[in-house]
Amino acid sequence: MAEFTLHIDGMHCGSCIRRVTQALTATEGLKVEEVRLGAARLSAADKAPVDLAIAILTKAGYTAHLEQ
């Protein structure tokens, strides 16, 4: 399983962490390792879920990109 971290803009509080966690947990193919203000660490079997995770977060109202 590949692990990756997304940088997430627009997170300011515990409610944001909960919203991001719920959105990512509901996404098939992703395992949420950690969510903190401004970032989420995830794991997945392949790279395709990275784009899916970014799209899910965009739909939830956050801008995200893969940390290098």
Instruction: Decide if pLDDT at 2 tops 70.
Output: yes
Identify the pLDDT of residue 28.
Answer: 85
Identify the pLDDT of residue 47.
Answer: 65
Average pLDDT in the 51-65 region?
Answer: 95
pTM over 0.75: yes
Of residues 6 and 68, more confidently modeled:
6
Q: Is the dihedral of CA 53, 28, 24, 57 positive or negative?
A: positive
C-alpha closest to that of 41 among 49, 54, 50, 32: 32
Task: For residue 44, give the H/E element and its range.
Answer: strand 39-44
Average pLDDT in the 43-49 region?
Answer: 79
Which domains are seen in the chain, by residue range? 2-66 (3.30.70.100)
- Say if CB 23 and CB 57 are below 8 A apart: yes
